Amino acid sequence: MLKINNLKVAVNGKEILKGLDLNVGPGELHAIMGPNGSGKSTLGYALAGRDGYEMTDGSVEFDGQDLSELEPEERAAAGLFLAFQYPVEIPGVNNAYFLRAALNAQRKARGEEEVDSMTFLKTVRESIKTLKMDEALLKRAVNEGFSGGEKKRNEIVQMAVLQPKLAILDETDSGLDIDALKLVAEGINGLRDGKRSFVVITHYQRLLDYLTPDRVHVLSDGRIVESGGQELSQRLEAEGYAFLEETAA
Amino acid sequence: MNQTVEQVNQVIQQRYKAGFYTDIESDRVRAGLDEEIIAMISAKKEEPSWLLEWRLKAFHHWQTMREPNWAHLKVPAIDLQKIHYYAAPKQKNRPKSLDEVDPKLLETFDKLGVPLHERARLAGVAVDAVFDSVSVGTTFQKELKEAGVIFCSFSEAVKEHPELVREYLGSVVPFTDNYFAALNSAVFSDGSFVYIPANTRCPMELSTYFRINARDTGQFERTLIIAEPGSEVSYLEGCTAPMRDENQLHAAVVELVARKKAKIKYSTVQNWYPGDENGKGGIYNFVTKRGDCREDDARISWTQVETGSAITWKYPSCILRGDRSAGEFYSVALTHNHQQADTGTKMIHLGKDTTSKIISKGISAGHSNNSYRGLVRIAKRAENARNYTQCDSLLIGKTCGAHTFPYIESANSTAKVEHEATTSRIGEDQLFYCRARGLDEEDAVAMIVDGFCKEVFKELPMEFAVEAKALLEISLEGAVG
Ligand SMILES: Nc1ncnc2c1ncn2[C@@H]1O[C@H](COP(=O)(O)OP(=O)(O)O)[C@@H](O)[C@H]1O
Ligand SMILES: [Mg+2]
């Protein structure tokens, strides 16, 4: 599904990702952990195609396509979804309207028919319910005045409606209380169908307890320095990132 | 980041869809501004002598005045002697009904999306169509008459209702008010007249569509709306002009009178030709609009969506004379390329417990300059006056400017005046967020701008909110990268 080879990414001329390799197969869920500033969000932005995140070396293949060729909206239409670490507010733009416009833009790009408002509303309402969100949030402006937790859950609602092939979730669990965390995990698990893949960026074992990742990777200073199974995240939780330096030394 | 700005600037290049010219024979006075020209205009309109005298008084006063220079605008010298002050499509006889109007004119308004003939006209909206210096026709006159409402061209009102015109003309904007109002008073040609009798709610929306067509002319229209006690009306004006390399002057005066408990809602969608991407051509729009809440509990609300004109100088204002009277001003002003806008409002609180609300949204792109200028004045006797002002600017790119000039003059310590202002740039983060969800750049910009204007759009009558939104989108449309 996602094949990243020796990826180097520079932001403002500064190299942040320094030769990153990652392979995520169909249906797999991979976790990426790592200290602040190690380049996790940079990876998400680079994959989603943000301006100024320049791929200087290496290759990224997504669902058989060379990602570097595609504009951000083309990547979205191809089935790539990034849940933002800091979801953006768009004042005055109705949340449901935004999501429907996004869905229909993607469908149009894929040559599919637009969804009618009834079908759309049904889908959104279901995910809103799963995440125990207030339906009133649909009528509010995109993320405007949402609490931190509401913003994060709103990202999951978007993911559920847009039905991507690969979702990258950037610290979606940060700032959530334990109940909200469970709901988000349920939302993610509900979308695991054996085909859809996930890259979950997190600092906490807590979320992974609910998600049971296929692989856990540690990102440090722009490279994957360690990969393993669930036990790796447990060790990180217990010992922190300090042991990385020990192994390096 | 620079790349994004570049792309957005391309997105915002306007495509002006009303830029065509109608080839029609025109009856035009010679160029120039003098007493003889004024007498000619008055004669063409078969006006009574008191009106000619009023025009001439205005002209003599105007001769003592100078162009205002306090606005944040660079206004090139305008040679007023080169303008033809009257131009009208040639018509054999004055058409008695819309069926007799020259098909070329009907076709023009069709093309502009304002069909006048019976079959196609907009349901529930009466239209007065003004072409250069004359009104070519007004729809639904019969239906309105049954409700006691008078809606006709200004020229017709002078003929049919001289006593009303004489009583109210210049009673809100005297010709001494300012340079452009004085000029208008001397040479005004046509415009609309509205009279709503007491305790009557106007049964439909009224609207005037102003079209400048002829070359080297100016349009100097005059609109007068009178709302008798307990009456209510919603009025809308739209305007367009052909694309030309020369600038054309448009100097209108609009006067509103709201008597006891009357309500007037006045909306404008202004789409005069803005000039090309290098700043060549476009309309100079110098307009004086004022509403008088003359008696208690009167209410006047201005809503404007300004996307056109090379230069806009416009401050729709309210005089809150009656106790508990209320004034509102909702504005979206979009400038791009080399457009300049200096627009805002004046809220003059004279009565007790008067309230006013100002919501201004300025959007600047390209090399344009967009200024909000607003005055809130609380007179000594205006106990408990309240004003709320919110003034937001949205910048697209780094070569445009947004400026805010709020003036507050309060002579009464019980007044409460609140002012909030924000300036933001269309964020790269907002654009990227939209694109990451699958929207292309053009749709993303349109959506962000539309969201920014929401509070103003919701004040427009439904049909026109849709039009205004589409207009903004057209203004933002263009080839992306
Ligand atoms: N726009 C930017 N300009 C310059 N440096 C940046 C920018 N964005 C991120 N960085 C730097 O890149 C590094 C990685 O950041 P980030 O990917 O956000 O880390 P993480 O998500 O792992 O905390 C940090 O050193 C950060 O300061
Ligand atoms: Mg991060």
This complex has an ipTM of: 0.96
> A37 C-alpha vs ligand 1 centroid, how far in Å?
6
- Residues near A166 by Cβ (< 8 Å), separated by ≥ 6? A1, A2, A24, A62, A63, A79, A80, A81, A196, A197, A198, A199
Enumerate residue ranges in chain A where pLDDT < 50: 248-249
Which A residues in the span 51-90 are in contact with B, Cβ-Cβ below 8 Å?
51-52, 71-73, 75-77, 81-82, 84, 87-90
Q: Cα A76 to the chain's mean position, in Å?
A: 12
Model pLDDT, residue A7: 97
Query: What is residue A184's three-state secondary structure?
Result: helix
DSSP state of A195: S
Q: At what angle do helices A148-162 and A117-130 cross, to 10 degrees?
A: 130
Model pLDDT, residue A189: 94
- Residues near B446 by Cβ (< 8 Å), separated by ≥ 6? B472, B473, B476, B477
Q: Cα A229 to the chain's mean position, in Å?
A: 20
Model pLDDT, residue B466: 75
Model pLDDT, residue B397: 76
Q: What string of DSSP letters covers B436-456?
A: HTT--HHHHHHHHHHHHHHHH
Shortest Cα distance from B119 to chain A (angstroms)? Answer: 32
Q: Cα B346 to the chain's mean position, in Å?
A: 15
Which A residues in the span 134-163 are in contact with B, Cβ-Cβ below 8 Å?
141-142, 158, 162
> A41 C-alpha vs ligand 2 centroid, how far in Å?
4
A145 lines ligand 1 (CB under 6 A): no
Is A13 touching B (CB cutoff 8 A)?
A: no
Q: What string of DSSP letters covers B41-110?
A: HHHHTT--HHHHHHHHHHHHHHTT------SS-------GGGSBS-EEE--SS--SSGGGS-HHHHHHHH
Among the residues of chain A, which ranges form H helices?
40-48, 72-77, 95-109, 117-130, 148-162, 178-190, 205-211, 230-239, 242-248
How many residues are there in chain A?
A: 249
- Flag if A101 and B439 touch (Cβ within 8 Å): yes
Q: Cα B148 to the chain's mean position, in Å?
A: 26
> For residue A136, which amino acid is it?
A
Q: Torsions phi, psi of B103, nearest 5?
A: -55, -30
Nearest residue (CA) to ligand 1, atom 6: A11
In whole angstroms, how far apart are CA B479 and each of A67, A145, B11, B447? 24, 34, 6, 17
Residues β-bridged to residue B373 = B344, B405
Which among B1, B428, B438 has the least Cβ separation from residue A105?
A: B438
Residues β-bridged to residue B402 = B370
> A14 C-alpha vs ligand 1 centroid, how far in Å?
10
Model pLDDT, residue B12: 46
Q: Mind listing the pLDDT tens digit of every residue in chain B (481 residues)?
A: 344 545 444 444 446 677 777 777 777 888 888 999 999 999 988 999 999 999 999 999 999 998 888 888 888 888 888 888 888 777 766 667 777 778 777 787 777 777 777 666 666 777 788 777 677 777 788 889 999 999 998 999 999 999 999 999 999 999 999 999 999 999 998 889 999 999 999 998 898 887 777 777 788 999 999 999 999 999 988 866 667 677 788 899 999 999 999 999 999 888 877 777 787 888 889 999 999 999 999 999 999 998 887 888 999 999 999 999 999 999 999 888 888 889 999 999 999 999 999 999 998 888 888 899 999 999 999 999 999 999 999 888 778 888 899 999 999 999 999 999 888 878 789 999 999 999 998 889 889 988 999 889 888 877 777 777 777 776 665 322 2
In whole angstroms, how far apart are CA B280 and each of B81, B338, B471? 21, 9, 21
Q: Provide, as residue numbers in chain A, all residues whose Cβ is less than 8 Å from the Cβ of B452.
A: 91-92
Nearest residue (CA) to ligand 1, atom 5: A11
State the distance between the two ends of chain A, measured CA to CA, in whole angstroms: 35
Distance, in Å, from the CA atom of A226 to the CA atom of B155, rounded to the nearest integer, reads 85
Q: How many CA atoms lie within 13 A of B182 on its CB side?
A: 18
DSSP state of B205: E
> For residue A181, which amino acid is it?
L
Is B454 touching A (CB cutoff 8 A)?
A: yes
Looking at the CA of A86, name the nearest ligand: 2
Distance, in Å, from the CA atom of B184 to the CA atom of A241, rounded to the nearest integer, reads 77
- Flag if A103 and B438 touch (Cβ within 8 Å): yes
Q: Provide, as residue numbers in chain B, all residues whose Cβ is less than 8 Å from the Cβ of A90.
A: 430, 433-434, 447-448, 451
Distance, in Å, from the CA atom of B307 to the CA atom of B332, rounded to the nearest integer, reads 8
- Residues near A61 by Cβ (< 8 Å), separated by ≥ 6? A2, A3, A4, A5, A67
Distance, in Å, from the CA atom of B324 to the CA atom of B260, rounded to the nearest integer, reads 10
Is A111 touching B (CB cutoff 8 A)?
A: no
Q: Torsions phi, psi of B332, nearest 5?
A: -120, 125
Distance, in Å, from the CA atom of B13 to the CA atom of B336, rounded to the nearest integer, reads 8
Nearest to A199 by CA among A225, A224, A173, A169: A169
Distance, in Å, from the CA atom of A129 to the CA atom of A146, rounded to the nearest integer, reads 17
Looking at the CA of B1, name the nearest ligand: 1
